[in-house]
Amino acid sequence: MLNKPFRVLSQFRESGDRQTLSDFINDPALRVAGRLDYDSEGLLLLSDDGHLVQKISNPRFKLEKTYWAQVEGEPTEDAMAQLRQGVILKDGKTRPAKSRIIDEPTGLWPRDPPIRYRAAIPASWLELTISEGRNRQVRRMTAAVGHPTLRLIRARVGDWSLGQLKPGESAVTTMV
């Protein structure tokens, strides 16, 4: 398990001046089990077991992933209901998400650089659990209901959770 920092690519091979996973973990046997975008943070699972990587990564297995999304504005119950029913995106309707408004997660680390601050537009935190992994799906879903994502953190994948890992920290865990 790795807490992938903001602005780190979910790959081991070098990519110009961008940081990659190899800046945090040095084990050539490991493969990434599901990706996180460059501008997303949080739990990333790595394994040397190809079957496990497939089970975690392949949407066919419908493994739930939970995200904390800081969004623009204050979502209405209608917006939350849309997320729970599935949102129509350019690539089709999403599966229903479990969604709820939450307080800022306890123990959250500061982001560097911080999100943009707008005095006239409040920000809210949502917890979203999805069972698919489309490209930038959570960001596209929140934008589709009128609340663009400002910060996105993956907190859980299946039974594995971020716990107390700080950005850039990793921990070995049993994966079954």
Q: Which H/E stretch holds residue 70?
A: strand 65-72
Rounded to 10 degrees, what is the CA torsion of 170, 16, 152, 59?
-80
What sign does the dihedral 87-88-94-96 (CA atoms) show?
Answer: positive
Of the candidates 23, 37, 49, 91, the residue annotated as catalytic is 37
- The phi, psi pair for 119, rounded to 5°, reads -60, -35
Contact 68, 102 (CB under 8 A): yes
Residue 37 among the catalytic residues: yes
Catalytic residues: 37
